[in-house]
């Protein structure tokens, strides 16, 4: 009888052993009783059955993963990918684009100007993906009645790394609260709001993919973002131009 040998993934084993080490110290510190442990098991079971594990981790864990990895790194700070990213958004022509939207899309009109460079200098033709909520605080392809890929698109910067986007100003929104994630949020005494933000993802050969967000000065939820995703370096001004608002932010990618 032959015994099947399996290749050990050393990174998985290393991460698990580190998790157990710190979990033991955490349990020694907290001294949970059996009822508290059982309540946690039942809550975790509901979390899994509801399909909210990605939501919970995006809101309450992802930010700390990014901080641990990138807090002393050069380049633009990353922020949350979030649970509403959708692949295969429409490819738009040129570096000056209008993000797909409904006719007479509700919301304040926005013109956003940006530049993408490298820690090593200027780069051109960087792929940019953009997604955001609508004037109801909802995302297409998920909880909105808008057509699929509304307020979503991808395009390339020009040869100097510049780009310009016409869209609408996003609004703050509340994360879903009618499931286990909401149970935890309110039990911990947190509110459930995220400040208004735009999601942007950048890809360029020879560079790490940069996933980040843009925030706006004056938003009441900046200091208490439930997902802890706000970075001061990602916060910019909304300038009122009468019939539209304008904002600008530049981005720097890290090499691999």
Surface-to-core class of residue 96, CB atoms within 10 Å of its CB (0-12 exposed, 13-18 middle, 19+ buried): middle
User: What pLDDT is recorded for position 8?
Assistant: 84
Total-model pTM:
0.89
Strand partners, 215: 197, 235
Surface-to-core class of residue 2, CB atoms within 10 Å of its CB (0-12 exposed, 13-18 middle, 19+ buried): exposed
User: What pLDDT is recorded for position 4?
Assistant: 66
- pLDDT, mean of residues 158-162: 98
* pLDDT tens digits, one per residue of 185-229: 999 999 999 999 999 999 999 999 999 999 999 999 999 999 999
Give residue 58's region: left, alpha or beta (phi > 0; psi -120 to 50). Answer: alpha
* pLDDT tens digits, one per residue of 44-70: 999 999 999 999 999 999 998 898 888
Please compute, for residue 198, the number of CA atoms within 13 A of its CA located in the half-sphere on the CB side: 29
**CA–CA separation, 199 vs 85, rounded Å?**
9
Residue 21 pLDDT > 60, yes or no? yes
Q: At 5, is the pLDDT very low, low, confident or very high (cuts 50, 70, 90)? A: low
Average pLDDT over the chain, rounded to whole? 94
- pLDDT, mean of residues 70-97: 93
């Amino acid at each position: 009888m032959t015994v099947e040998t399996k290749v050990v993934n050393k990174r998985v084993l290393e991460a698990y052993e580190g998790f157990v080490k710190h979990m033991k110290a955490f349990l020694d510190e907290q001294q949970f009783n059996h009822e508290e442990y059982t309540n946690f098991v039942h809550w975790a079971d509901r979390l899994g059955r509801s399909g909210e594990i990605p939501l919970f981790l995006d809101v309450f864990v992802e930010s700390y993963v990014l901080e641990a990895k990138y807090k002393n790194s050069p380049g633009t700070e990353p922020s949350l990918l979030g649970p509403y990213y959708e692949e295969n958004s429409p490819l738009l022509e040129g570096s000056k684009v209008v993000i797909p939207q409904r006719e007479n899309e509700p919301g304040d009109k926005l013109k956003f100007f940006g530049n993408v460079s490298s820690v090593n200098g200027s780069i051109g033709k960087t792929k940019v993906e953009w997604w955001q909520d609508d004037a109801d605080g909802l995302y297409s392809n998920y909880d909105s009645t808008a057509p699929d890929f509304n307020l979503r698109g991808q395009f390339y910067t020009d040869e100097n790394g510049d780009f310009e986007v016409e869209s609408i100003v996003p609004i703050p929104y509340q994360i879903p609260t009618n499931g286990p994630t909401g149970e935890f949020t309110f039990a911990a005494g947190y509110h459930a709001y995220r400040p208004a933000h735009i999601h942007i993802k950048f890809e360029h050969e020879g560079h790490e993919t940069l996933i980040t967000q843009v925030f706006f000065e004056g938003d009441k939820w900046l200091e208490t973002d439930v997902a802890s995703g706000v970075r001061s370096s990602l916060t910019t001004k909304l300038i009122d131009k009468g019939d539209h608002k304008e904002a600008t932010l530049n981005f720097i990618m890290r090499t691999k």
